[in-house]
Structure 1
Amino acid sequence: MTALVDRPHIVETGHFEEVARVLARLEKGARLEFIDGKIRSKSVLDGNHGRIMEWLTRRCVQARPELWLYPDQGLKVQAHRGGRARPDGELAPSGAFVGHGEWADPDSVLMVVAVTSHDADTDQRDRVEKPRAYAETGIPLYLLVDRESCQVVVHSEPDSGRYEVMHTVSYGSRIHLPGPVGITLETEQLKDWVH
């Protein structure tokens, strides 16, 4: 199985799902993604990553109690929904994924979230491949909490496979998540969870 992970093999979506199911049974905590026809593994999350997601969940639910920030729900992404991504979080109406399997349709998702890990492929995955895949899917917002650069980046206005607008602030600044989310975040606390 590991020969398929993190290498540029081109496979079909059905084959990927089968590999992901088998690997999840064999290796507890194994999480795979399938973007641009390539299988990639997601790193094991650390405590600071989890704390950032806890912080963000609280902010989102306080501001918009009808929504929930779902952790690690698999999504069908890209133009023809052949890709499979596991964002760190998906902001969607409460109950949006009831009845969905491991890979849900993204139609109700307002925003996807990534918190960078300390992996060698973070730059390519979180800053290039994921924004393109989410924009191609039509997900309104992509929020990147970048622990390497100590910045928060909001990608918005998806069009033709890319986000037309990117707004970046350093940790400690205020950032607004535009519609359809409409939440403003104070990012000072993120300074405590860089590494």
Structure 2
Amino acid sequence: MTERPHMQTEDFEAIARIAAKEREGTRLEFIDGVIRSKAMPDGDHQMIIQWLTRLCMQHRPELWLHGGQGIKAQAYRDGRAIPDAVLAPSKAFAGQGDWVDPAPILMAVEVTSWDSDTYQRDHVEKPRAYAETGIPVYLLIDRAKCEVSVYSQPNGRRYEGVHVVPYGTDIALPDPIGITLQTEVLKDWVR
């Protein structure tokens, strides 16, 4: 195979800024050298993030669930991702730009959308990118499968631990989070 040129991160960031300005709500990500658009969240998606925010505030009030924050992901190719939310100290990103340093992030959260590439993005690309970045926990709430997946123990390439349960089953978010999610309520936000 011939090597094809890869886009520079600075060029991607410029394109993402223009897209967001020109088309309100357009959110672009850059993972594995590929630009992808991220779907706008629907009402049920927002309810899931709201539910998780309340739980985090109750159990870990020193932390905040930052929604839609762009992060620098992957050492290789200088990726850029926009998790649906990240759990970090409340002032962790003060003074940073659109794409923040991921070092203070304890957990990245994705809630699946209904677009055609959601499986590839949320089950393959995102866990790899977040593990490479060193984010301790990746929480995936899959609305199509009605499952919750908790990825933990990143080794720099992938997550060593993956625990998957159906909606309605309690699941522990391991250290450094230390919260148990009671997922029965997620059944209310499925099509």
Q: TM-score, normalised by structure 2?
A: 0.96
CA distance in 1, matches of 2:55, 2:131: 24
Partner of 1:3: none
Contact 1:175 1:184 in 2 (8 A): yes
Deviation at 1:10, TM superposition (A): 3.5
**One-letter code aligned to 1:192:** D
Aligned pairs (5 A) from 1:41-52:
41-52=37-48
Partner of 2:128: 132
Partner of 2:24: 28
Aligned pairs (5 A) from 1:65-80:
65-80=61-76
Is the aligned partner of 1:169 residue 2:165? Answer: yes
Deviation at 1:160, TM superposition (A): 3.4
Aligned pairs (5 A) from 1:22-171:
22-80=18-76, 82-171=78-167
Partner of 2:189: 193
Deviation at 1:94, TM superposition (A): 1.1
- Taking only the aligned residue pairs, the percentage that are identical comes to 60
State the SS of the aligned residue for 1:60: helix
State the SS of the aligned residue for 2:44: helix
State the SS of the aligned residue for 1:53: helix
CA distance in 2, matches of 1:86, 1:108: 15
State the SS of the aligned residue for 2:52: helix
CA distance in 2, matches of 1:44, 1:16: 20
Contact 1:9 1:39 in 2 (8 A): no
State the SS of the aligned residue for 1:15: helix
Deviation at 1:79, TM superposition (A): 2.1
Contact 2:131 2:157 in 1 (8 A): yes
CA distance in 1, matches of 2:165, 2:159: 17
Partner of 2:178: 182
Q: TM-score, normalised by structure 1?
A: 0.94
